[in-house]
Amino acid sequence: MKNILGNNITLTLFGESHGPYIGGVLDGLPPGLKIDTDYINAQLEMRKPYGDISTARKETDEVQFVSGVINGYSEGTPLTLLIANENVRRSDYDSNVLRPSHADLAAEMKYNGYQDKSGGGHFSGRLTAVIVAAGAILRKALEDNGIIIGSHISMLHGIRDDEFSDYESEIRKLNEKRFATLSDTAEQLMIKEIEVAKEQADSLGGILETAVCGLPGGIGEPWFDSLEGLLAHGIFSLGGVKGIEFGSGFAMAQMKGSEANDQLMVKDSRVISLTNHNGGINGGISNGMPIVFRTVIKPTPSIGKLQLSVDLNKMTNEVLNISGRHDPAIIHRVRVVVDCLSAFIIADAISQRYGYMWMTGEKKWKSVYTV
C-alpha cells in the first residue's frame, strides 16, 4: 500500500474525495526555502472549475501548513499541508453499482470493500489539489533558478492547437491563461466542443503538450531512473492519463535515422542541436534542449448517458445513471496538475545530482549544451 512519490524529495499523499481533508507530506526540502502562498494559491486557482465546462463542485482549496513551515520559510523538516473538503455530498454515491472506467472495481479487488467509495475516495481527482499545492513549492524554486514549465492543449477531440515555436515566451503566456492554448481560435473551438459534449451528457479527452526550458544537461540516470522514466512514472499516477510520449515519440516509427537524429553544431561557444526529436533527453539524461512530452487524457468517465454495469452486492446486471457533479472534460484543469507534478519530479532529479540546497540559490551546474 504505497502512496509515496520521489527519491530525495518525497511526497506522501493522503485523504479521500469526500472526507474531511486531503493532504500531503513533503520531505527532503532544504531549510530556508520561501513558501510563497500567493504563488501556491495562483496555481490552485488554475485547477479550479472553469465556467460551464467544469464540475459544479466548488472548493476554496485554502492550504493549511501544519508542520515544517515557520515565518514563511521551510524548516527542513517534513512539511505537512492540509486542504479541507467543504462542498461534499456523500449521498450522490450511495449506489452499489460500479461506475464504468472508474477505479471502483479495481479498488474493490485491492481493498476488499473497506475503501471510502464516495466520489472515488482516495482514487479521486480531488487529490490532485494536493499535488498542485506541493508541486507549486518546487515549481517556484525551479522558476527562481531559471527553469520554467508550461503546457497547452495540443488537441481536443480532433481540434488541434498551434505548435510551439518560441518555447520560453509562449510558456510564460500559457501560464497566465485559464484555458491553455496557443491559438485563440483553437480555444474558442475547444470550449464550444466541450459545451456540446455537456449538452449531449457526454465527455471529451485530449492531449497536453508540456515543455520545460532552462533545465541543464546531465539530469537523470542512464537506466532505471531515466528522466523519461521518472516523468512517466509520476504522470501515469494521474487517473485520467492513458499515454505519454517524448519528443517526436510514436512518429519516430515513420522516420528514418537521417530524419530522426538531432544533428549538432557549435553556436556562440555552445553545443546546440538543429532539431529536438528526442525531446531534450538522450540516454535517460537531459541534454540541455527543452524537455518536450505529450500526455493523453481520456474522456471523463462520469457521463450522463445510461451505461451497462453491475451491482457488486447483488451480483446483478444493471443499467447505471450516474448522479453527482462531474466535468464534461478535465484536460483544461489537468494542465496545471501535469505542470506542478513535472516540477516536483524534475526538482527531485536535480537534487539527486546537486543536493537540495540548489533550491535556495546555490546553483552548481554548468551546461555546454543548450537551446
Q: Are 145 and 122 in contact (CB under 8 A)?
A: no
Say if residue 209's pLDDT is above 90: yes
- For 11-58, what is each residue's pLDDT tens digit? 999 999 889 999 999 999 999 999 999 999 999 999 998 888 987 778
Q: Give how far Cα 123 sits from Cα of 50, 117, 132, 237, 289, Å.
A: 22, 9, 16, 10, 35
Over the chain, what is the mean pLDDT? Answer: 93
Stretch 135-160: mean pLDDT, rounded? 97
Q: Which residue has the cell 522514466?
A: 229
Under the banding of pLDDT at 50, 70 and 90, the label for residue 371 is very low
Domains of the chain, CATH where assigned: 4-360 (3.60.150.10)
Predicted TM-score (pTM) of this structure: 0.94
Closest CA to 5 of 370, 362, 365, 348: 348
Closest CA to 147 of 332, 334, 370: 370
List the beta bridge partners of residue 43: none
Rg (CA), the chain: 21
Q: Where are the alpha helices (DSSP H) in the chain?
A: 37-47, 104-111, 128-144, 167-174, 184-199, 227-235, 257-260, 331-354
| Residue-level pLDDT at 336 | 98
Under the banding of pLDDT at 50, 70 and 90, the label for residue 67 is very high
- For 71-128, what is each residue's pLDDT tens digit? 999 999 999 999 999 877 666 666 789 999 999 999 999 998 888 888 788 999 999 9
* CB-based contacts of 157, cutoff 8 Å, min separation 6: 190, 193, 197, 204, 205, 206
| Residue-level pLDDT at 140 | 98
Give 311-319 contacts, CB < 8 A, sequence gap 24+: 311/96, 311/97, 311/98, 312/96, 312/97, 312/98, 312/105, 312/108, 313/96, 314/96, 318/97
Q: Are 119 and 22 in contact (CB under 8 A)?
A: no
Calculate the CA dihedral of residues 349, 352, 354, 360 and round it to 10 degrees: 70
| Residue-level pLDDT at 54 | 84
Collapsed DSSP state (helix, strand, coil) of residue 245: strand
Say if residue 332's pLDDT is above 70: yes
| Residue-level pLDDT at 361 | 79
Identify how many contiguous H helices and E strands the chain contains and give both numbers.
Answer: 8, 18
Q: To the nearest whole percent, how much of the chain has pLDDT over 70? A: 95
| Residue-level pLDDT at 86 | 86
Say if residue 365's pLDDT is above 70: no
CA 152 – CA 171 distance, rounded (Å): 8
CA 195 – CA 198 distance, rounded (Å): 5
